[in-house]
Amino acid sequence: MNLPGTTRRPLEGQHFQVVVIGGGINGVAIARECARAGRRTLLVEQHDFAAGTTSRSTRMMHGGLRYLEHGEIGLVRESLRERQRLLRERSHLVHPVNFLLALDSKSRRSALSIRTGLWLYRRLGGKPLGANASQEDERRLERVLDSGRRWSLFSFEDAQCEFPERLVAEWLMEAVAAGAVARNHTQVLAVDVFHGRAKGVLLHDRLSGKEDRVEASWIINATGPWADRVCQRSRINTGQPMLGGVRGSHLVLPRFAGAPDAAVYTEATDGRPIFVIPWNDQVLVGTTEIPDNGDPAKAEPSTNEMEYLLRSLLHLFPGARVSLHDIRYSFAGVRPLPFSPKTRPSDVSRKHYLHDHTSDGAAHMISVVGGKLTTAAELARQCVAKLGLGSRTAPTLVTAPEESLDALLDGWVTEISQAGGIGAGSAQAIVEWHGGRSKAIASTAATSAKMRASLCPHTPHIVAEAVDAFTHQGAVTLADVLLRRVPVALGGCWSEACSRDAAMRIGTVMGWNEHQAAAELEAFETERAAFLRKPTRVDLMLEAAAD
């Protein structure tokens, strides 16, 4: 892993037993599993790890209650099993969440079917999470719901990972510790295929402009919605597309008067399920399902989608005084669902599968189709099994104490605070995002006041976290740090002034000159604006005209 401005070691002519293309949660999980199985593994990502679909999700680690409607009991069981594993092993990042299912009298789902589904969901989920919504949660929600309709409320438990980017960063560190070579900002121009077998890849380092060709025994195409494009560039003919992209858009709003403390699962104006979730001291509303086979890197919410989500929110909370003006930002990602041209997006299976390209004339290459945040680790285990790599996988590294994090938090925060010479607020923020890496960050913080400085005046997160991201977590750019490794720029307070402060404080300790700092800041602002979209002036004018 490299610091900004350093030269990365050339890969030209090297041989890897496994090359994994794509550094989202699935690709990183697969690379980690392959490296732990003792295979020399290369992981390459065209942008930054977790910068694509992973960071544009609803940020839930859930079993998929809605999948029961489609009879996908196996998928729900697998997802709930993985949810339990994540809650146990990553308790600083994955938390139980109270959910209230709110349905009005016009819902096509009967109370009996809902109760039956929830009973089965609880049975499949095993041990309770301890996050059941209280009667007070229900009463608070009832008070703010549309009083002109009759509502039925049901409670259940699930889990949330507010920052899956952080989970990916931890798995990435574990992959590298197991021997994997990881390169972000490195595009695969083509897979080399000779005599019906995938033999290697041609790489383009987007930072240096250099091209390298490496050999591989196996190639895993885990690029999500880009999977078909990788095959097309490599002239691998799959007959028909493997994927049918479906765009999911989200809104992020300030907490409005009456916003629930529990997460709400409800129906949108057209009967589709949507979430209204407390997230990052804000409210996350999503998601849509719009067919989208365009460039996934350019996916963004349409005006119609933003209005649809707002109407659905106001259908539930008519007293909420929110409009397009209040949207802090919106974002969209493309789900890599299996190609199903005659099926409605909401009915397409969320199961993942591994496409073997032998019949396409590219043996020893596998493409991942589908996948969810929750099941990424299980997908990786299945991939390793399919490759026949054996079972030398090391035990999962637990980055938080085995006991409940809440039970030990006070003592741990005190220890980090004293070790780093930082306040309790910063210590707690570090523990919640970095788990077992907190001690190393505290040691860095102890070296100077500049390391202990906050990244901006509104956050308890400090410069030492950014330095650790560059030195140990694969970050290469300022955007890699502020949007993914230490994702303070997703907060509601963030502004251009915050960006300038962070760039200056990080640049000072990293030794950036004035030109480097300005270039990093400009690139960060450009990337953030492309990812986190604000309604345009035209959108706002149209809304005003409609009023």
Q: What is the pLDDT of residues 455-507, one digit of tens each?
A: 999 999 999 999 999 999 999 999 999 999 999 999 998 999 999 999 999 99
Contact 250, 287 (CB under 8 A): yes
How many CB atoms are located within 10 Å of the residue 315 CB?
A: 16
Q: Give the Å distances, CA to CA, from 412 to 94, 111, 397, 402.
A: 18, 45, 18, 13
The larger pLDDT score, comparing residue 2 to residue 181, is at 181
The larger pLDDT score, comparing residue 349 to residue 517, is at 517
- pLDDT per position as a tens digit, 253-293: 999 888 888 899 998 888 888 999 999 999 999 999 999 98
- Whether the pLDDT of residue 148 is over 60: the answer is yes
Q: Count each helix (H run) and each strand (E run) in the chain, helices first.
A: 17, 16
Cis upstream peptide for 287 (omega within 30°): yes
**Amino acid in the structure at residue 20:** V
Please say whether the structural domain 15-53+165-242+350-387 has been given the CATH code 3.30.420.40. no
Q: Give the Å distances, CA to CA, from 424 to 91, 217, 428, 431.
A: 20, 49, 6, 10
The DSSP letter of residue 96 is E
CATH of the domain spanning 405-531, picked from 1.10.8.870, 3.30.390.50, 3.30.70.100, 3.90.1150.10: 1.10.8.870
Range name among 5-14, 53-62, 110-119, 204-213 with the lowest pLDDT average: 5-14
Mention every residue, 6+ apart, whose C-beta is less than 8 A from residue 477: 4, 48, 185, 520, 523, 524
- pLDDT per position as a tens digit, 413-454: 999 999 999 999 999 999 999 999 999 999 999 999 999 999
Distance of CA 433 to the CA centre of its chain: 14
Task: Tell me the torsion sign for CA atoms 351, 354, 359, 362.
Answer: positive
Enter the pTM of the model: 0.93
- pLDDT per position as a tens digit, 156-176: 899 999 999 999 999 999 999
Range name among 42-51, 81-90, 404-413 with the lowest pLDDT average: 404-413
The CATH architecture to which 62-161+245-334 belongs is 2-Layer Sandwich (3.30)
Residues written for the chain: 547
Range name among 15-24, 141-150, 320-329 with the lowest pLDDT average: 141-150
Residue 475 has φ and ψ, to the nearest 5°, of -70, 140
How far apart are alpha carbons 417 and 420 in whole angstroms?
5
Domain ranges of the chain: 15-53+165-242+350-387, 62-161+245-334, 405-531
